[in-house]
Chain A
Amino acid sequence: MATTHIERRKHRPFSIGRAAGWTYLGIVLVVTVFPFYWILRTALSNNKALATDPSSLLPVDFTVEAFRRVLGIATLAEAQAQGGNVAGFDIGIYMRNSVIYAGVSTVLVVLFSALAAYAFSRLEWRGRNLVFGVLMVALMVPGIMTLLPNFVFIKQLGLVNTFAGLILPGALFSAFNIFFLRQFFLGISREVEEAAIIDGAGRLRVMFRIIMPMAQGPIVTLLILGFIGAWNDYFWPLLVSTSGDEVRPLTLALAVFRQSAPGTATDWAGLMAAALIAAVPMFLIFMIFGRRIVNSIGFSGVR
């Protein structure tokens, strides 16, 4: 990439248009990244001192107390002294809940979608195209239509405030995942599969031993995109996880934390520390899979 860059520079000398273009991109990048720096700067500030120097680019009265507060290792007296939120914020529990919710629902839905996609692409049966078409209609129905009735249903099943209630509605079926994987499966050569079948391998064996390993790339893509989606999900957990902390995921806890402590000044430093910790798993995924995420977005646009 570096060489093409230099070659281009040689070809095209400095021009006002190019300079303007780079200036624009520079501004976009700064506006994109600056808020993340600002969370860090605020999180490392003393909450009470923040008001004294709101425009300081460095943390005001540098301290890691906000992180200690949010991680629940500061005493109540310490938290109050820092202008902290008195109500506890047990980030460990919320983090665990988010991992379970996002992890389990994503793995299950990708697995079930892969099984269905296999049936729609590699098996020959009557009604295949009809059933596929009917399932794809679900791409059109917006979340809001199904949310309220789904909530009523989950409530009737007695699954409010349980992981089952949180995970179940999204764990079985995703029209987009099935569509996405089916496209990929259709492209895999038939010969490999048929050779295995002639050698006496069963359908499931072919699926898990041949097709799934060959489809590793698309499957990982769906796992990443699904995990990001579920990790950031808010509306459904808001409905299902109504009381207490047992199953409440991090995004929801963060919103509750934002709205608590009425009457007192907002604990901005603590809130920023919590937001930063909530975003850390996403940053890790980004560092490991950044390029894959960028490349898969072009494809996921079909959604």
Chain B
Amino acid sequence: MAVDVAPLVSTRSPRGGRVRMSVSAAHRGDARMAWLLIAPALLGFLVFAVYPTLRGIYLSFTDFRVIGDANWIGGANFVRMMGDEVFWNSLRVTVYYVLLSAGGVIVLSLVTAVILHRLTTSTTIRSVIIIPFLVSNIVAGVIWTWMMDSQLGIANELLEAVGIPRIQFFTDPAWAIPALAAVTVWKGLGYTTILLFVGLQAIPVQVYEAGRLDGASEFQMFRRITIPLLRPVLAMVVILTIINCFQIFDLVQVTTKGGPENSTNVLQNYIYSKAFGQFDFGYASAISLGLFLIMLVITFVQMRLSRINESDTD
């Protein structure tokens, strides 16, 4: 976390008594000015973050359907969720997608970052691999549905050229999630690689030189030096990637819309279809709350497991 911690440390120098007097004079009227300056942000926070969060929790205990009033129905939505086969399927699909995509992004970007770090400091290469991060999931989805099209896609042309039968990437239930994960990896690889690369740059070169003098191989140095020293950054990257993958929605909307046969009906997609397909806002809110709790637990467990604020060097 060396990269991020630096600015956390205030650079204010200790002040002497004489200076403090002039400071307190300079700060007369600060309180009123401060509340004035934070007023817009505070308003946005209260109206568009706090209020909707509380309202979302409230709605999840009601049968709200946009038209008409919200009636309190207690925990009925949650009971319904427990018995909802489609919900459990969505949860399974989401977890499967997160494992594939987050796993793929993390492993591949770690490999890429390490190789990049050991071979070159070129900003050009780093700039090029970041390009997919700049386009929307929609554009990414449009490109890849075309490239993975069962009839005309270049991916299938290549498979055929090497003698592998064509794959119905987005229309075969078995392939739809792996295909989505592949697009996610393509789009997220560069961003994550750069985060890890910055972390690697913070490791002192001397550590590697000492390792080499002791006759360590590249792989030994990776295991004994890189991974332990990178762990705080790695832990942060793992949480960010998992949380991001849990929130997949737009990519699914532009490629499969949840199909075929609910095989890509991830939680956000299910919430959306409940809320805006069937106007079942109460139930949709209950599932949102469930998703939020899942993400909260993951973050918490992950932070405990990785002791995010510590490094092995401490």
Q: Which residues of A contact B (CB under 8 A)?
A: 1, 4-5, 17-18, 21-22, 24-25, 28-29, 31-33, 35-36, 38-39, 42, 50-51, 54-55, 112-113, 115-116, 118-120, 123-126, 128, 131, 135, 138, 140-150, 152-153, 155, 168-173, 175, 178, 183-184, 186-187, 190, 194, 197-198, 203-204, 207, 228, 231-235, 238-239, 251-252, 254-255, 258-259, 268, 271-272, 275, 278-279, 282-283, 285-286, 290-291, 293-294, 297-299, 301-303
In the bound assembly, the distance between CA atoms of A100 and B124 in angstroms comes to 31
Q: Chain B contacts of A1 at CB under 8 A?
A: 121-123
In the bound assembly, the distance between CA atoms of A302 and B237 in angstroms comes to 9
Closest to B197 in A: A298
In the bound assembly, the distance between CA atoms of A175 and B38 in angstroms comes to 12
| Number of residue pairs spanning A and B whose beta carbons lie under 8 angstroms apart | 305
Task: List 16 additional A-B contacts (Cβ < 8 Å) besides A120-B38, A302-B4.
Answer: A32-B190, A50-B152, A124-B30, A140-B299, A142-B246, A145-B52, A148-B56, A149-B56, A186-B10, A194-B23, A232-B138, A234-B250, A234-B253, A255-B254, A275-B142, A275-B143
In the bound assembly, the distance between CA atoms of A297 and B3 in angstroms comes to 11
Q: Chain A contacts of B43 at CB under 8 A?
A: 172-173
In the bound assembly, the distance between CA atoms of A272 and B149 in angstroms comes to 14
Q: Chain B contacts of A252 at CB under 8 A?
A: 138
Tell me if A115 and B40 are in contact (CB < 8 A).
yes
Tell me if B41 and A286 are in contact (CB < 8 A).
no
Could you name 7 residue pairs across A and B whose Cβ atoms are closer than 8 Å?
A: A17-B218, A113-B41, A123-B37, A142-B291, A173-B44, A294-B126, A298-B197
B interface, by DSSP: helix, strand, loop or mixed?
helix
Closest to B255 in A: A258
Interface locus among B71-79, B98-106, B109-117: B109-117
Tell me if A294 and B48 are in contact (CB < 8 A).
no
Which residue, of A145, A172, A258, A272, has the highest number of chain B Cβ atoms within 10 A?
Answer: A145
Q: Chain B contacts of A168 at CB under 8 A?
A: 48
Which residue, of A21, A118, A142, A231, has the highest number of chain B Cβ atoms within 10 A?
Answer: A142
Q: Chain B contacts of A207 at CB under 8 A?
A: 37
Tell me if A29 and B129 are in contact (CB < 8 A).
yes
Tell me if A128 and B34 are in contact (CB < 8 A).
yes
Closest to B31 in A: A125
Taking the complex as formed, is B45 at the interface, i.e. its CB lies under 8 A from any CB of chain A? Answer: yes
Nearest 5 CB-CB pairings of A with B:
A172-B44, A173-B44, A298-B198, A232-B136, A149-B52
Q: Chain A contacts of B157 at CB under 8 A?
A: 54-55
Tell me if B189 and A294 are in contact (CB < 8 A).
no
Interface locus among B171-179, B223-231, B282-290: B282-290
| B1-28, CB < 8 A from A | 3-4, 7-8, 10-12, 22-23, 26-27
Taking the complex as formed, is B90 at the interface, i.e. its CB lies under 8 A from any CB of chain A? Answer: no
In the bound assembly, the distance between CA atoms of A152 and B48 in angstroms comes to 11
Q: Chain A contacts of B122 at CB under 8 A?
A: 1
In the bound assembly, the distance between CA atoms of A33 and B288 in angstroms comes to 36
Q: Chain B contacts of A255 at CB under 8 A?
A: 138, 250, 253-254
Known A-B contacts A172-B41, A173-B49; the reply to A297 vs B137 at CB < 8 A is no
Taking the nearest CB of chain A, how far is it from the CB of B34, in angstroms? Answer: 4
Taking the complex as formed, is B151 at the interface, i.e. its CB lies under 8 A from any CB of chain A? Answer: yes
In the bound assembly, the distance between CA atoms of A253 and B22 in angstroms comes to 58
Taking the complex as formed, is B194 at the interface, i.e. its CB lies under 8 A from any CB of chain A? Answer: yes
Tell me if B285 and A148 are in contact (CB < 8 A).
yes
Taking the complex as formed, is B139 at the interface, i.e. its CB lies under 8 A from any CB of chain A? Answer: yes
B120 CB contact (under 8 Å) in A5, A153, A184: A5
Tell me if A141 and B128 are in contact (CB < 8 A).
no
Known A-B contacts A173-B41, A301-B237; the reply to A28 vs B129 at CB < 8 A is yes
Contact with A along B253-293 (1 / 0, CB 8 A): 11001000000000010010001100001001100110110
Taking the nearest CB of chain B, how far is it from the CB of A66, in angstroms? Answer: 13
Q: Chain B contacts of A51 at CB under 8 A?
A: 151-152
